[in-house]
Amino acid sequence: MKLGTTDIEVSPIALGTWAMGGGDSWGESDPVLAVKTVHRALELGINFIDTAPAYGNGLSEQLLGDALAGKRHQAVLATKCGLVWGNDDEGSVHKSRDGVTIRRNLGKQSIIKQVEESLGRLKTDYIDLLLTHWQSIPPFHTPIEETIEVFELLKQQGKIRSYGACNVSLEELKEYQKFGTPSLVQERFSMLWRDKADLASYCAENRITFQAYSPLERGVLTGKAALSQNVVGTAKASVAWYKMENRPKVLTLLTSLETMADTYNTRVGNLVIAWTRQATGTMNVLCGARKPNQIEENSKAQDLVITAKDWAIIDSLARTLL
């Protein structure tokens, strides 16, 4: 599929590397497995890879830089800006984790510095897609016009090829459009999380790629086994469906999805990914993985097409939990 209105071709499923950063969010990371996962994704035709400086405070980007040595031309590489954690970094407080305070800063000079640091960790001289990770808030608020100005400058310099936004409201996206041409919007979206459904529809109408993150609800929708395992890391712990009181409802849904998956000779996780991919005309599905077998399993959803009737049945089953 095309990335927005650019001529950049990306796989409909992307590899997410948040978990590769480990830390409080995901638990300990395995660098060797992380690199192997990236290599396996490329072998399977998944060329779209997403990362961010804040994932593991630079570790995810470093691992991706190692993995893409000699293979950079095979990947469409997306990273982000706007979150900083240095002792001398200014910005509005975002959160604290892994012993540091994360701050939001989308000012011009900060973005220029952030991009140079990302290029160094990624061991590349250009980024295919640069995204604002979280939007600017007071007291260190930066107008979107200023952020777009530096994005356009970075494009002219050849350091980025395109840009977009994560965790953005419809009003903010329209502001991006007023001053520039965003190629992609990345938002949490799944059959059990529809808060940004209207934004997804708007993106489809305006030829902006909408990339769904956490489409499997961080493991919940991969199958019943996930709900029998211990929850490790704050990323999973923050998902309400892992709470004991919600598990019976999810298990009922998973039983129905298993029956549907059998008719397609696939597994529940792949059925869910395919359902998500077919939600709108510009949908891209971001699937996190840090082990080769995980991306191998997710990749099977690339060619899976659900009939319109079955899509609607799955939709109605999931809506009973919303």
- pLDDT tens, 254-293? 999 999 999 999 999 999 999 999 999 999 999 999 999 9
The one-letter amino acid at 64: L
The DSSP bridge pattern shows strands 209-213 and 184-188 to be: parallel
CB 185 within 8 A of CB 168: yes
Percent of the residues in the chain that have a pLDDT greater than 90, as a whole number: 96
Residue 55 is a catalytic residue: yes
Paired tokens of 32: 């060797």
pLDDT of residue 226: 85
Distance CA 135, CA 289 (A): 26
Q: How far apart are CA 60 and CA 58, in angstroms?
A: 6
State pLDDT tens for residues 289-317. Answer: 999 999 999 999 999 999 999 999 999 99
pLDDT above 90 (res 225): no
Give pLDDT, residue 301: 97
Mean pLDDT of 81-87: 96
Q: What value does the mean pLDDT of the chain take? A: 96
**Whole-angstrom Cα distance, residue 32 to residue 124?**
20
Q: What was the pLDDT predicted at 191? A: 97
Cα Rg of the chain (Å, integer): 19
Q: Give the pLDDT of residue 229.
A: 83
- pLDDT tens for 174-211 read 999 999 999 999 999 999 999 999 999 999 999 999 99
The band of 66, judged by pLDDT with boundaries at 50, 70 and 90, is: very high
Q: In this predicted model, what pLDDT tens digit does every residue of 90-135 receive, in sequence order?
A: 999 999 999 999 999 999 999 999 999 999 999 999 999 999 999 9
Where residue 224 falls among pLDDT bands split at 50, 70, 90?
confident
